Structure 1
Amino acid sequence: MSVWTPSAPCTPRACIEQRGRATAVPRAVARITAVVALMLAGIALTPFGRRVPAEWVRRWCRSIVRAAGVRVRITGADAPTGGLLLVANHISWLDIPLLAAVRPARMVAKSDIRDWPVAGPLAARGGALFIDRDRLRALPDTVARIADALRAGQAVGVFPEGSTWCGRAQGSFRRAVFQAALDAHVPVQPVRLRYRIAGTASTAPAFIGEDSLLASVWRVAMTRGLVAEVEVGEAIPADTHPDRRTLARAAQPSPPPQPDWTHTALVA
Structure 2
Amino acid sequence: MTTDDTARALGSVGRGALRLTLYLLLTLLLIPVQGVAVGLRSPLSRRLPILYHRLCARLLGLELVVRGERMGSGPVLFVSNHSSYLDITVLGALLPASFVAKSEVAGWPFFGLLAKLSRTVFVERRARSSVGRQRDDIGDRLEAGDSLILFPEGTSSDGNRTLPFKSALFAVASRRIGDQPLTVQPISVTPTRLDGIPMGVAFRPFYAWYGDMDLAPHLWQVFQLGGMTVEVEFHPPVTIDGFPNRKALADHCQRSIAQGVACAVSGRPAQ
TM-score band, normalised by shorter chain: 0.7 to 0.9
User: Which one of 107, 115, 124 corresponds to residue 115 of structure 1?
Assistant: 107
Report if aligned partners of 2:60, 2:227 keep a CA contact under 8 Å in 1: no
Aligned equivalent of 2:70: 78
Aligned equivalents of 2:107, 2:27: Cα separation in 1: 15
Aligned equivalent of 2:212: 210
Question: Kindly, what percent of the aligned residue pairs are identical?
Answer: 27
> How far is the alpha carbon of 1:102 from its aligned partner?
2.6
Aligned equivalents of 1:77, 1:55: Cα separation in 2: 20
Does residue 152 (structure 1) correspond to residue 144 (structure 2)? The answer is yes
Q: What is the correspondence of 1:57-136 to structure 2 with a 5 Å cutoff? A: 57-136=49-128
Does residue 193 (structure 1) correspond to residue 197 (structure 2)? The answer is no
Alignment gaps of 5+ in structure 1: 1-18, 264-268
> How far is the alpha carbon of 1:65 from its aligned partner?
2.1
> How far is the alpha carbon of 1:164 from its aligned partner?
0.3
Distance 1:158 1:36, change over 3 A: farther
Aligned equivalent of 1:249: 251
Does residue 173 (structure 1) correspond to residue 172 (structure 2)? The answer is no
Letter in 1 for 2:87: D
> How far is the alpha carbon of 1:217 from its aligned partner?
0.8
> How far is the alpha carbon of 1:260 from its aligned partner?
6.5
Aligned equivalents of 2:50, 2:268: Cα separation in 1: 25
Q: Secondary structure at the match of 2:77?
A: strand
- Tell me the TM-score normalised to structure 2 length: 0.81
Report if aligned partners of 2:60, 2:222 keep a CA contact under 8 Å in 1: yes
Distance 1:42 1:171, change over 3 A: farther
Report the structure number with the largest CA radius of gyration.
2
1:64-84 CA-partner distances (Å, limit 9, x unpaired): 122123222222212231211
Report if aligned partners of 2:50, 2:94 keep a CA contact under 8 Å in 1: yes
Aligned equivalents of 1:186, 1:134: Cα separation in 2: 25
> How far is the alpha carbon of 1:160 from its aligned partner?
0.2
Aligned equivalent of 1:11: none
Report if aligned partners of 2:57, 2:93 keep a CA contact under 8 Å in 1: no
Aligned equivalent of 1:36: 24
Q: Which has the higher contact order (CA 8 A, sep 6+)?
A: 1
Letter in 2 for 1:159: F
Q: Secondary structure at the match of 1:164?
A: coil
Deviation larger for 251-260 or 220-229: 251-260
Q: Secondary structure at the match of 2:119?
A: coil
Alignment gaps of 5+ in structure 2: none
Q: When you count helix as a share of all residues, which structure comes out higher?
A: 2
Deviation larger for 109-118 or 52-61: 52-61
- Tell me the TM-score normalised to structure 1 length: 0.82
How large is the Cα RMSD of the aligned pairs?
A: 2.3
Aligned equivalent of 1:235: 237
Letter in 1 for 2:72: P
> How far is the alpha carbon of 1:94 from its aligned partner?
0.8
How many residue pairs get aligned? The number is 244
